[in-house]
Amino acid sequence: MLAFIAMPMFYLECSFGQFASLGPVAVWKAVPMLQGVGITMVLFSTIIDITYNGIIGYSLYYLFASFQSPLPWADCFSWWGADETCSRIPK
């Protein structure tokens, strides 16, 4: 999909957008059959950005939480599943 659809569409959008001096939504209005492509590209970019920001947020949270002593996840919590799989006896 990346080689046959995504990269050619990206190249087409960049070259067509530079030629027309329009953004991704407005540039596809020149081809009525493909008007939804620009809107879809903007929506996918938004979804990917939100997902990426969530992953980076979790990474930064656990990075800074790992500097605490003792580690917050070193002990089992009763609300997190302290059952027979969670032992408080040191190994």
Tell me the percentage of the chain whose pLDDT exceeds 90: 20
Taking residues 49-64, report their average pLDDT. Answer: 94
Q: Specify the pLDDT at position 89.
A: 60
Q: Specify the pLDDT at position 91.
A: 53
Domain that holds residue 35: 1-80
Is 72 among the domain residues?
A: yes
Report the number of distinct structural domains present in the chain.
1
- What does the alpha-carbon distance between residue 50 and residue 38 come to, in Å, rounded to a whole number? 19
Whether residue 87 is predicted with pLDDT greater than 80 in this model: the reply is: no
Q: How many CB atoms lie within 10 A of CB 28?
A: 24
What pTM was estimated for this model as a whole? 0.57
Tell me the per-residue pLDDT of 26-55, one tens digit each, with 9 for 90 and over: 888 888 888 888 888 889 889 989 999 999
